[in-house]
Chains A and B, each alone.
Chain A
């Protein structure tokens, strides 16, 4: 392998490895080399021609009759007249984003696939809207790559109640608070193409984005709306390309690009697979959860610790302290409240075989390496006894964040 100090462009390497100049096709030479096929093609053509002549003769017979001739002429005039009307209808106002916003009001059901360029498995959403266009019911499938610690997630939102099943951990979160529901819905709304258009219009009004609309003559081609965020925008260096259906004015897909080294690189696509195809109501029921799932029901109990006036770092460290103090006291119900509301019996199953002796160190808290969690990581060390052996247990990735449905309350969510 050659030793290069400078980073090379993969494009350049591939072109050099396999690139070729434009090839030319010598059709005359090809005909000489494939005479048999040419003859076969020509004999097929002769057969078709003879049957066509038969049809011509029939037409001539028909036109000999005065009655049929008059009828044929009338038909031609009628078609010509309709063509004039049809052409007039083709002269329509140019497309405007408001047409899509208006068309969105008619949407009752939508099925969306959100594909990240770096991953094969997409996120998928099914949404049912009410008469006002607001989300009424929703279901989402989130693949494991989005949050490797949690693994794949399936969620449903129905009648202000959220259920999220973490398959890898076999845990089912249940939250009923409106705030929690809205937070869960944000995930869905971020992938709702209807809102993509409204967001663009709002941002254009604020001078953050430049929009270009390309409206091809062919009705088979979608309208292309290119939204380029300006350098001063909070989304600078980003571009979104919306493909809008000519007939319905609804968004078919949204492509996402990021500016890198002067080129807009593709980052992913949101595709609208179905509009207004009625979704089976059973889609919004989470019935695939196994019987032995661990239920973390955050509706009927207080979870976590109230923050009060202390800082995020301080409350995170305090949650960890109270958690291990509860384990030292073998108060599994209390420890479970500080671990997303895990039932006490499940806590005992998980930790009962370890004797927690004392806390050696906690913190300092730091931002969690996975920013999507919105939480902190609190490294800590505890002394334990297991199978008669005393040792120190170091936890470097203990994660703490706010409880979904109970803002201002903090809980451990992972890393243990």
Chain B
């Protein structure tokens, strides 16, 4: 059978560009930092959403995370670790926001959606199933479905292997299906 040699793949080109952006940002170039933020904004909002369960708050948390990252970017060790590093800052920012007294929204309480646009019974059941997941699995589900991130992209954001993502997503979806079934939902196709 033939061999397929892949050279200059899009992923490698993107990784090299990102490394250059990180180097520039560490060197003091604010615009390079802005490009990195633009690249990972959706992912960070998704991570914050998995904690807060509120879209607007999630965007606030992601932007706060970038602000915190900016003043600490010179401490970043490993130019390939930018995304996982910002992701952790974002989780912390979301938790800080979620524990703030000014908001009543419970972290990760997806069933209490103040901005839910329609009386969507199915959606409520699914969001409740998501809220029952362990934190790590909930974050994976939201990352995957919030912005339709690829597995490769998720691996880059979280700093874990594709194999780990595969296994955790599979288990998370099984748990959700089981939760929906136990709560009277028609059997879903995994």
Residue numbers of A with Cβ under 8 A of B are: 1-11, 13-20, 22-25, 27, 30-31, 33-34, 37-38, 40-42, 44-45, 48-49, 94-96, 115, 117-118, 120, 204, 210-218, 221, 253, 255, 265-266, 268-269, 271
Given A22-B42, A214-B6: A8 touches B110 (CB 8 Å cut-off): no
Cβ A15 vs Cβ B145 within 8 A? yes
10 contacts between A and B (CB under 8 A): A7-B187, A10-B188, A18-B110, A31-B30, A38-B30, A41-B28, A41-B33, A44-B71, A212-B4, A217-B7
A33→B122 CA distance, assembly (Å): 38
- Which of these, A24, A27, A45, A96, contacts B28 with CB under 8 Å? A45
Cβ B1 vs Cβ A212 within 8 A? yes
CB distance from B84 to the nearest CB of A (A): 16
Given A7-B187, A217-B12: A2 touches B122 (CB 8 Å cut-off): yes
| Cβ of B146 under 8 Å from chain A | yes
Cβ A23 vs Cβ B166 within 8 A? no
- Which of these, A4, A15, A17, contacts B127 with CB under 8 Å? A17
A17→B70 CA distance, assembly (Å): 33
A19→B46 CA distance, assembly (Å): 10
CB distance from A70 to the nearest CB of B (A): 31
A8→B126 CA distance, assembly (Å): 12
A221→B2 CA distance, assembly (Å): 21
Determine the chain A residues whose CB is within 8 A of the CB of B67 once the complex forms. Answer: 30, 34, 37
Given A23-B41, A48-B28, A221-B12: A216 touches B122 (CB 8 Å cut-off): no
Cβ B120 vs Cβ A14 within 8 A? no
Given A10-B173, A23-B147: A213 touches B3 (CB 8 Å cut-off): yes
Determine the chain B residues whose CB is within 8 A of the CB of A265 once the complex forms. Answer: 170
Determine the chain B residues whose CB is within 8 A of the CB of A33 once the complex forms. Answer: 63
Determine the chain B residues whose CB is within 8 A of the CB of A271 once the complex forms. Answer: 163
Given A30-B66, A40-B71: A18 touches B186 (CB 8 Å cut-off): no
CB distance from A217 to the nearest CB of B (A): 5
Closest B residue by C-beta to A1: B184
Given A10-B190, A34-B67, A271-B163: A20 touches B127 (CB 8 Å cut-off): no
Cβ A18 vs Cβ B127 within 8 A? yes
A9→B185 CA distance, assembly (Å): 12
Determine the chain B residues whose CB is within 8 A of the CB of A96 once the complex forms. Answer: 3
A42→B73 CA distance, assembly (Å): 12
Centre residue among A20, A30, A95 by max chain B CB count within 10 A: A20
A173→B68 CA distance, assembly (Å): 60
Given A13-B126, A14-B130: A19 touches B148 (CB 8 Å cut-off): yes
A217→B12 CA distance, assembly (Å): 8
Determine the chain B residues whose CB is within 8 A of the CB of A215 once the complex forms. Answer: 3, 5-6
- Which of these, B34, B110, B121, contacts A1 with CB under 8 Å? B121
Given contacts A9-B188, A13-B126, 9 further A-B contacts (CB under 8 A): A7-B188, A13-B122, A22-B42, A31-B34, A37-B67, A38-B70, A255-B163, A269-B163, A269-B166
| Cβ of B100 under 8 Å from chain A | no
A17→B172 CA distance, assembly (Å): 16
Determine the chain A residues whose CB is within 8 A of the CB of B190 once the complex forms. Answer: 10
Centre residue among B1, B49, B147, B169 by max chain A CB count within 10 A: B1
Cβ B126 vs Cβ A17 within 8 A? yes
Determine the chain A residues whose CB is within 8 A of the CB of B41 once the complex forms. Answer: 23-25
- Which of these, A11, A25, A49, contacts B38 with CB under 8 Å? A25
Cβ A118 vs Cβ B126 within 8 A? no
Determine the chain B residues whose CB is within 8 A of the CB of A18 once the complex forms. Answer: 49, 110, 123, 126-127, 130, 142, 145-146
Closest A residue by C-beta to B40: A25
A216→B13 CA distance, assembly (Å): 11
A14→B3 CA distance, assembly (Å): 38
Cβ B166 vs Cβ A255 within 8 A? yes
| Cβ of B183 under 8 Å from chain A | yes
Given A8-B186, A117-B167, A216-B12: A17 touches B66 (CB 8 Å cut-off): no
Determine the chain B residues whose CB is within 8 A of the CB of A204 once the complex forms. Answer: 1
